Amino acid sequence: METIKKILKGTLKIFKWLFISILLLIGLSALYNISLPKSSKTIDILSKKEKAMIAEAMNLQRKLGKEVFPEWGDSITPIIVYNEKYAFLTGYSNPPSGWLKMPNREFRGKEWEKVPDDDFYGVPYYRQLLSDPNINPENFAVMVGDRWVATIQTKEYAAVKFYNGFRNELPPVVNLIFPYRTFWNMIMGTAEQYIAATLHESFHAFQGTKNFEKFADAESVARLEDEYPWFQSSNAEGWREEINLLVKACVTDDKKVLSESISQFVEMRRQRRENVSLSNELALYEQQREWLEGLAKYVELTIGLKANQSQQYDSFEAIRIFPDFKNYKNFEKYYTRQLHEAGRAASHDNENRFYFTGFLQALVLDRMMPDWKNEAFHNDAFLDDLLEKALKNSSTFNLNS
């Protein structure tokens, strides 16, 4: 009996301290959340860090862009970043007014003014006050005059929007203690992740330059998202099988397994579409969104990984002073997390699924048909089409990619 009492007493003591620890963590999280910013600190000019991240994105594209995709890096894409009040244009001298929302070429904005008493590493940059914060350049690609421009929120404003938006979606009490910063840091907490995300949008500008018709069609079909059978069980199960086969093809060291996995993937995809009576329009929607967003995701992650692995790559000097920039040393871990997330893409009941499935197909194409990028902008070439083509010639397989 004494032994039982001692065990119970010890157990209660453990639960007591565990309960106290949980209360302390909740209290600390709530206090920490009080300090979360509700608006950007720097509004009417670009901060030193924002400038450095933009310059590093341009530097990364210039030095490693062509290693990721042919011709991407021959010319550097201008970049617009925006916060809750201003849009800023860099890498573009004497720009014409406003911007064109693509692909429908809707004119937005007004005249760009040179930012007074400030510069972008020795050259002018431009800004305009947003008359309506909901009418902004968005995170994509636009045209200013006759030039394609990448567009993205400032990192600071992206964090503010995340904190405010997520806080409003959570139930009372939970929204007071949720670890917002920790969650944000997993998504885009480091400078390198933001820089890579900027180049995701830069690649959209490249897609528009290389084949506007294909780009425009692939963006226009985003309207079909609400019609797509995300929750249909046979569709979801088919997607899980397809993704498992793509992941298997990404990691195998056996050419036969690679070939068999993709052969099964092609057949599984055909069967899934047939089983759920997917219309030709929605089947094409899958392909177009994988091409548009999946390729951009591939570029985003691949260029960061190349910077991590390169012995010769020199980052832009001004970015090196910031503590959260680690010269891509941690990017391989981020890449691995994203690869694991890609393996769970079937759980994404929205277009995020296509970002990851397109990314996986591009990785497999690197292993099966190293010159696939030369065909990626052909009107009739989507990623799964190229995989089918690659199956016909196993002599091109390169498992070191």
C-beta separation of 251 from 399 below 8 A: no
Residues of the chain scoring pLDDT < 50? 23-26, 28-32
What is the value of pTM for the model shown? 0.90
Nearest to 368 by CA among 343, 349, 394, 347: 394
Predicted local confidence at residue 159, as pLDDT: 86
How many Å separate Cα 394 from the centre of its chain?
Answer: 31
Q: 């042919």: which residue's tokens?
A: 70
Predicted local confidence at residue 3, as pLDDT: 61
Predicted local confidence at residue 164, as pLDDT: 75
Give the Cα separation of 206 and 210 in Å (integer): 6
Where b means 16+ CB within 10 Å and e means fewer, 276-299 reads bebeeebbbbbbbbbbbbbbbbbb
Give the Cα separation of 138 and 106 in Å (integer): 13
CA distances (Å), 137 to each of 25, 119, 153, 213, in order?
39, 21, 9, 21
Neighbouring-strand partners of residue 120: 123
**231: burial class by Cβ within 10 Å (0-12, 13-18, 19+)?**
exposed
Neighbouring-strand partners of residue 152: 81
Predicted local confidence at residue 10, as pLDDT: 58
Neighbouring-strand partners of residue 88: 81, 127
* Count of residues making up the chain: 401
C-beta separation of 33 from 180 below 8 A: yes
Give the Cα separation of 235 and 233 in Å (integer): 5
**379: burial class by Cβ within 10 Å (0-12, 13-18, 19+)?**
exposed
Strands 79-82 and 147-153, by their bridges, are parallel
Q: 């089409």: which residue's tokens?
A: 385
C-beta separation of 64 from 73 below 8 A: yes
Q: With H, G, I as helix, E, B as strand and everything else as coil, classify residue 284.
A: helix
C-beta separation of 363 from 373 below 8 A: no
Give the Cα separation of 159 and 157 in Å (integer): 5
C-beta separation of 201 from 150 below 8 A: yes
